[in-house]
Amino acid sequence: FFGGIGGASRLGILVKGSNYLEALGSTETVVFDKTGTLTDGTFSVTELVCAPGVSKAELADIAAAAETFSTHPIAQSVRAYRGAAVAAERGRDVREVSGQGVEAVVDGREVLVGNGKLMAAHHIAFTAVEAPGTVLYVAADGTYLGAIAIADTVKPGAVRAIADLRAAGVKKTVMLTGDIRRVADHVAGELCVDEVHSELLPADKVAQVERLLSNADGKLAFVGDGINDAPVLSRADIGIAMGAMGSDAAIEAADVVLMDDDPLKISKAIRISRKCLRIVYENIVFALGIKGLCLVLGAMGIANMWAAIFADVGVMVIAVLNAIRALRVDNL
C-alpha cells in the first residue's frame, strides 16, 4: 500500500490512506460535479444582454464588483472579463447563496448576480436568455439589469476520462449539477454519462448521492471541486477533489486529491488500486503458502534449518521485492 500511494503521488494523485486506495478498486459508480470538474474552470464571457437603459460596461462592472470575493469559477470569469477595471472595494456585504449566486451591496445598491432561481427567490422579473452556456442574471435594487452568458467548455480529457472509467470496470457514471437542465443535458450528451440530474442545490446533491449509495453494490466515488459540493465529498464512499482549482474545504473533505484537475486520473487511480490489491493478495498467498508448506515438511521431518530460514527471511525479502512493483504506475 505504501508503494501504491507513492506511485499514485508521482502521477499527481494524492491518496489519504490505504483504506481509500483499497476502496477505489471496487468502485462501481462514479458521480461527477459539472462546473470545474468536467468543464473547464476558466470559461469566458460570450454575450451581454442588457435591459433598456443599461450599458454593457455598467452591467459587467456591477456583476464583477459583486463577484469580487467569490471563488466560484463563474465568478472568476466575470472578474477576468472586466480585467483590472473593477475596484475590489466597491462590493460589500457579499453573501454567497450556494447553487444560486451572490448577493452584495455595490455602490450602495443591493445587487444580485445568479441564476433564475436566485431571481425568482427575490421576485425579480427577468427575461430568460437562450445561450449555449451558463447564463447569469444581474439585478440591482429590485430592478433587472441584464444577463451575462458564459461559455462552459468541457475539459479536453473529460470525454476520454468517462470512456476510460468504463474500460476500467465502472458500471455507472452520473453527473450532478446546479446548472440549468438545457446546459446539463448538452454537456452530458457530449460526455456520454449514463445519468444526469440538474438544477440541484448542495443538499439535493447529497440526497442524490444517498439514493445512489442505497442502490449500488460496489463503492461510490464522488468527484468535485468542493465549491457547493463539499458535503457530498464527505458523504460518498470515496470523495475525490480537484486540487489545483478546488477549494481548501474540498481538499480537506476529500479522500483522494487530483493535483492537476485531470479527470483522466480517476481511472488511473482505480487501476493503481487494483494492481496494488493484486500484489497484496499475491504476497499473502505466497507467504502463508510457503510457511504452511515448510511447517508440514518440518512436521514430517523433511525440512531442515535452511528451509526454515528461507520460509521466514527469504519469503519476507521476496514479498518486499514484489511490493516494490506497486511503485511502477507509468504503464497503467
Among 8, 11, 60, 136, the residue binding ligand ADP under the rule CB under 6 A is: 136
Q: Which does 255 bind (CB under 5 to 8 A by kind): Mg ion, ligand ADP, none?
A: none
Nearer to Mg ion, 116 or 246 (CB): 246
Nearer to Mg ion, 196 or 227 (CB): 227
What pairing do the DSSP bridges indicate for beta strands 27-33 and 172-176? parallel
Query: How far is Cα 27 from Cα 192, in angstroms, rounded to an integer?
Result: 19
Phi and psi torsions of 299, nearest 5°: -65, -35
Nearer to ligand ADP, 4 or 114 (CB): 114
Residue nearest ligand ADP by beta-carbon distance: 178
Nearest approach, Cβ of 207 to ligand ADP (angstroms)? 14
Q: Does 226 bind ligand ADP (CB under 6 A)?
A: no
Among 68, 77, 100, 247, the residue binding ligand ADP under the rule CB under 6 A is: 100
Cβ density class 67-97: b for 16+ within 10 Å, e for less: bbebbbbbbbbbbebbeeebeeebbeebebb
For 305, counting Cβ atoms within 10 Å of its Cβ (0-12 exposed, 13-18 middle, 19+ buried), the class is exposed
Size of the site for ligand ADP (CB under 6 A): 24
For 292, counting Cβ atoms within 10 Å of its Cβ (0-12 exposed, 13-18 middle, 19+ buried), the class is exposed
Question: Measuring CA to CA, how many Å separate 197 from each of 27, 135, 170, 191, 201?
Answer: 20, 18, 19, 14, 11
Query: How far is Cα 265 from Cα 6, in angstroms, rounded to an integer?
Result: 15
Nearer to ligand ADP, 100 or 273 (CB): 100
Catalytic residue check, 33: yes
Nearer to ligand ADP, 242 or 311 (CB): 242
- Hey, CA dihedral for 33, 38, 43, 46, is it positive or negative? negative
Among 34, 172, 219, 275, the residue binding ligand ADP under the rule CB under 6 A is: 34
Q: Does 247 bind ligand ADP (CB under 6 A)?
A: no
Query: How far is Cα 250 from Cα 122, in angstroms, rounded to an integer?
Result: 30
Site string for ligand ADP, 178-207 (x = CB under 6 A): xx----------------------------
Q: Does 75 bind ligand ADP (CB under 6 A)?
A: yes
Q: Which does 61 bind (CB under 5 to 8 A by kind): ligand ADP, Mg ion, none?
A: none
Query: How far is Cα 280 from Cα 263, in angstroms, rounded to an integer?
Result: 27
Q: Which does 68 bind (CB under 5 to 8 A by kind): Mg ion, ligand ADP, none?
A: none
Nearer to ligand ADP, 103 or 274 (CB): 103
Partners of 172 in the β-ladder: 29
For 109, counting Cβ atoms within 10 Å of its Cβ (0-12 exposed, 13-18 middle, 19+ buried), the class is middle
Nearest approach, Cβ of 35 to Mg ion (angstroms)? 4
Q: Does 74 bind ligand ADP (CB under 6 A)?
A: yes
Contact set with Mg ion (CB under 5 A): 33, 35-36, 225, 227
SS3 158: helix
Could you give the angle at which helices 315-324 and 2-10 cross, rounded to 10 degrees? 20
Nearest approach, Cβ of 168 to ligand ADP (angstroms)? 24
**Catalytic sites, residue numbers:** 33
- The residues of the shown chain that bind ligand ADP, judged by CB under 6 A, are 33-36, 67, 70, 72, 74-75, 96, 99-102, 113-115, 134, 136, 177-179, 227-228
